[in-house]
Amino acid sequence: MSTLNFFKLPDVGEGLLEAEIVSWKVKAGDVVAINDVIVEIETAKSIVELPSPYAGMVAQLMVAEGDTVDVGTDIIAIGSEATAADVASAVAPAEAGASAPVQEKEAEVMKPLVGSGPKADAVRRRPRVSPAPASSPGSAIPGSAGPGSAQANRVLAKPPVRKTAKDLGINLADVVPTGPRGEITKKDLLGYQEQRVAEQQEQVGTFWAPAAASGGPEDPREERIKVKGVRKATAKAMVESAFSAPHVSIFVDVDASRTMEFVKRLKASRDFEGIRVSPLLILAKAVIWAAARNPSVNATWAGDEIIIKHFMNLGIAAATPRGLMVPNIKDAQDLSLKELAIALNSLAATARAGKTTPADMQGGSLTVTNIGVLGIDTGTPIINPGEVAIVAFGTIKLKPWVVDGEVVPRWITTLGGSFDHRVVDGDLSARFMADVAAIMEEPALLLD
């Protein structure tokens, strides 16, 4: 008989507590090799592909796509031999949960890929019950004492479905199951709830069900989105930042006409052929330059001390389909203008594809957010946790501007900076923003 190996959800980041199963790359019966990608998960910071720590045949996917589970939870069972007969015979006692050899094999669990994570409780499985075949209604159900046993009448549903049913006050016995093993799926539950709401509204004779606000039937005109993953992490971080760091914000209008001319020359340069260049590149370089002149804006408040960083891990806030992410360019102060442009392009492409890793978002020292791409003039950004400064880059527009006493059209932008007043006082924040503005007005200063 093949050994049944259970793979637990690992801690793929520092202190990861849970993750969502986004998509399985294998199914029961597939043969996998060590390091084959078997599942894609979404953590609070990124989407990660997990490789298989075992070789063999997939015996069971133990968590459904869309479910969020704790680190240390068994998510897949893999037989050590790729023979269907052995895997089938190994899965049966594992699902019955009563065989001592299988319990011993459950101890042979792969340790988390990164870090230890919280220790998982012992797994307790109840016997799975499959509906009796229509051709033999009197036959006994596997794992039960017979057709009339109490187990035969138990409703099959995964823990998340049971929890949702409990929250909605639904008796699972009233729901018709459509799952492949006769289990009630989340879709079954939501369909039943929609039907129940419709019936209740028909009885009341009104379209709106006011009880929804108090946990009763939901208003069908409302959409409820589960807060999880990146959105959940962002919300937590922003609340902590806004209410722990005393923010002070200042703004400066900048004549970025020479920046626009410089960008145009870079685009035509052979050295930058095939590289996307935008004014954000010049702003990023300006922030690095200005932080070197004003080191205290590149720091962390640690309670009883201020940690000033003599390196720049430049964060770039990126709006992605998964929500706001802030990956950073490591040691950006050491990059040439061309290298910085390549790094910015790579960072943006990776973020849009949802492939930003947790490591890419750790260790940031100062952040830039480009709200100008959305046509916004300026804003008061919230500081990224662990940092003391953030710069918002507004849109660049042709506006009337006074030059040598004459009103002429110039490319104008507004920079907005937010600072942790525990570290950066008004004088320092003003000097830093003035230095950033100086580079935007005259990029040639970067050559000094």
Kindly give, in sequence order, each residue whose CB lies less than 8 Å from that of residue 190, ignoring residues fewer than 6 positions away. none
Distance between CA 429 and CA 433 in Å, rounded?
6
- 247 - beta bridge partners? 420
> Which token pair is 28?
């029961």
| Degrees, nearest 5: CA angle 174-178-179 | 115
Q: Assess whether 421 carries a catalytic annotation.
A: yes
Distance between CA 68 and CA 1 in Å, rounded?
32
Annotated catalytic residue: which of 342, 421, 428, 430?
421
What's the number of CA atoms in the CB half-sphere (13 Å) around residue 428? 20
Kindly give, in sequence order, each residue whose CB lies less than 8 Å from that of residue 443, ignoring residues fewer than 6 positions away. 258, 259, 262, 282
Distance between CA 120 and CA 117 in Å, rounded?
9
- From the list 393, 385, 383, the residue with the least C-alpha distance to 419 is 383
10 Å CB burial of residue 332 (0-12, 13-18, 19+) is: buried
- Residues, the chain: 448
Catalytic residues: 421
